[in-house]
A and B are shown apart, each in its own frame.
Chain A
Amino acid sequence: EDQVTQSPEALRLQEGESSSLNCSYTVSGLRGLFWYRQDPGKGPEFLFTLYSAGEEKEKERLKATLTKKESFLHITAPKPEDSATYLCAVHGWTQGGSEKLVFGKGTKLTVNP
């Protein structure tokens, strides 16, 4: 059973068309939620860390928010250079009783000019 689920798996937007990516999680005792951006054939690049419900972080056209069981990555007026796979990772306690950092499978975002 996936403990971190990202949706949608893939998203196509037109340049300027705002949207949101979702990361939902079942780990308990959240210690931190991380967003990364990954370009094809490259390593992930750190974007944000969120620690508690209600927290928000912004960077250029990206804004990350956190509730008790999910996080959203809002993309405002995206540009083609925002095309990438966005990964979510959650640090907390799994259903098996261990403290872990679990990555989701990612959302592949394509922004067409």
Chain B
Amino acid sequence: DGGITQSPKYLFRKEGQNVTLSCEQNLNHDAMYWYRQDPGQGLRLIYYSQIVNDFQKGDIAEGYSVSREKKESFPLTVTSAQKNPTAFYLCASSTAVNTEAFFGQGTRLTVV
């Protein structure tokens, strides 16, 4: 079954910690994205990648980092520099940038 897998589904972070969210796809898509979703707001783009070993900042990249060492994988690290990390994080992929995207089931990150 082709799709996008995000893990974990729920994640708790202590103040000052870095945490990494996993995203894997087996759709053979070139483009991958990370979005943040907060109540009452539209999805906001954190980072995106058009191809392996290349990625670009989105609208709210500060406090986040990514890597794209394999076509299938696009992990997101939420660093301690991100002051308000509690949110629902969504990973997506598409055949090319800004075409119809397929989303994972999301990771809900909570700072404790």
Please give the residue numbers on chain A whose beta carbons come within 8 Å of chain B beta carbons, in ascending order: 4, 31-32, 34, 36, 41-46, 49, 87, 89, 91, 99, 101-106
Contacts and interface: CB of A to CB of B under 8 A. Distances in A.
Given A44-B43, A99-B98, A104-B42, 6 more contacts: A41-B108, A42-B105, A46-B102, A103-B42, A105-B40, A105-B41
Main secondary structure, interface of B, reads loop
B101 interface: yes
A101 B103 contact: no
A45 B100 CA distance: 10
A41 B92 CA distance: 15
A34 B100 contact: yes
A36 B35 CA distance: 15
19 contacts: A32-B98, A32-B100, A36-B103, A41-B108, A42-B105, A43-B4, A43-B90, A43-B104, A43-B106, A44-B103, A46-B102, A46-B103, A91-B98, A99-B98, A101-B45, A102-B42, A103-B42, A103-B43, A105-B41
A86 B99 CA distance: 18
Main secondary structure, interface of A, reads strand
B79 to A, nearest CB: 23
Interface string B19-55: 0000000000000000000001111110000000000
Contacts of B98: 31-32, 91, 99, 101
